[in-house]
Amino acid sequence: MLKFLAPHLRVERVEELTLERLREMDIEFLLLDVDCTLKRYRAAEVTPEVDAWMDELRSGGIQLCLASNGLGKRIGEFAGKVDLPFFAKALKPFPFRIRKAMRRMGYDPKKTAMVGDQLFADVIAGRLAGLTSILVRPIHPEEEHWFTRVKRPPERLLLRLMGTAEKRK
């Protein structure tokens, strides 16, 4: 059960997903969560570091697409600012919209990673869709809606248990 919930990779921030690292993982396509993954929940834009990271990946041939449970208008406006395709109301952790978006974008599931900050949304959605799942430490999760913050303590507990299980092997 824990293996199903476990991300394939955990990083502190998206900038750790360098072009070299993604190539080593044979990843050519990234589905990116928005809030608390690329930017603070209440921020309208990404930091210059995240902007430079996205530019570097695009220049290196990695295709990026936003995949958010957020509402279409807000996510669409953000997507316009970062010049990325997007799909909103992704209904994560369910994989249906992710699979549909990947088909539309022409992404190969074996070469695609779902990158996000939530175990119970992004990681499970990626796992169910047959993708590599990458968990990022959330950026200022205290700014999120209450219904997301409620999930954080069980996520932390599970991540601690998974970390302990990994050490026992």
Q: Show the tokens assigned to 24.
A: 């080593």
Per CATH, the number for 2-168 is: 3.40.50.1000
Name the pTM for this structure: 0.87
Residues 45-67 pLDDT 10s: 999 999 999 999 999 999 999 99
Query: Residue 126: which pLDDT band, with cuts at 50, 70 and 90?
Result: very high
In whole angstroms, how far apart are CA 22 and each of 58, 77, 155, 161? 12, 27, 25, 27
Q: Using CA atoms of 167, 161, 96, 151 in order, give the dihedral in degrees to the nearest 10.
A: -150
By C-alpha distance, which of 35, 53, 55 is closest to 45? 35
